[in-house]
Amino acid sequence: MSGGLDSTVSAAVAKSEGFDIFALTIDYGQRHKRELKSARAVGKSMEVKEHIVLRVDMTKIGGSALTDNRVNVPKSGVKPGIPATYVPARNLVFLSLAVSYAERVGASRVYIGANSVDYSGYPDCRPEFIKAFGKAANLGTKAGVEGSGMQIAAPLQTMSKGEIVKLGKDLGAPMHLTWSCYEGGKLACGKCDSCRLRLKGFAEAKTADSVKYE
């Protein structure tokens, strides 16, 4: 549960499917720490069973505009290729931690808000990665070897941002509490990839976005 739009709608999907939610938020040193506040607000609104915020300092690794303030966040529009906001192996790291947490609480499913339609070209958001990670998780865990296994669910994988917003609205997801901007200021910049994709989604869904933009 990052505090962003996709993870919030994914949590709403999990809740609609009858699951209790154990939320994991990663504080990885992201420049947009504002999303951590949103994650806590979303978790409280959705009445999650437990919510832990885990500190994993990826600024020590760097290599991304989100973890190195010397690298500017691109604001010229969503383009083909992998942008400077890609954090090396972020979802690989995060899903590993999520599976560890899931084993501890006895969860049968891990939800992630990965999307491969309206996205910034991150390789760790693609369906082939999610599928491969699911296989690895079941090979490398007690739950996978001795139990019934664990499923990695990416319910938004093939949806457009407009479809995601519509789904969130239908499920009553607290989208008004979410934060998407990579800059993380008092107001969303409206120009980074994440802002542009969010604005596109709300426009396509003909739904008002309560987030204020510069």
Strand segments, DSSP code E, in the chain are 22-27, 50-55, 109-111, 151-153
Is residue 55 helix, strand or coil? strand
Give me the architecture of the 5-204 domain, per CATH. Answer: 3-Layer(aba) Sandwich (3.40)
Average pLDDT, rounded, for the chain? 96
Question: What is the model's pLDDT at position 184?
Answer: 87
Phi and psi angles of residue 41, each rounded to the nearest 5 degrees, phi first: -65, -40
Query: Which two three-digit tokens encode residue 208?
Result: 């008002």
Instruction: Tell which residue, 127, 193, 122, has the closest CA to residue 161.
Output: 193
28, 67 Cβ separation under 8 angstroms: yes
**Angstrom distance (rounded) from CA 94 to CA 96:** 5
Stated as kind and residue range, the H or E segment containing 104 is helix 90-105
pLDDT bin (cut points 50, 70, 90) of residue 148 is confident
Per-residue pLDDT for 95 more than 90?
yes
Count of beta carbons in the 10 Å neighbourhood of residue 24: 23
Phi and psi angles of residue 183, each rounded to the nearest 5 degrees, phi first: -80, -35
Question: What is the model's pLDDT at position 127?
Answer: 96
**Angstrom distance (rounded) from CA 32 to CA 192:** 12
pLDDT bin (cut points 50, 70, 90) of residue 118 is confident
What is the arithmetic mean of pLDDT over 48-70?
Answer: 97
What is the arithmetic mean of pLDDT over 63-73?
Answer: 95
Per-residue pLDDT for 84 more than 90?
yes
What is the arithmetic mean of pLDDT over 76-89?
Answer: 93
63, 89 Cβ separation under 8 angstroms: no
Domain residue limits, the chain? 5-204
Express as a percent the part of the chain with pLDDT over 90: 94
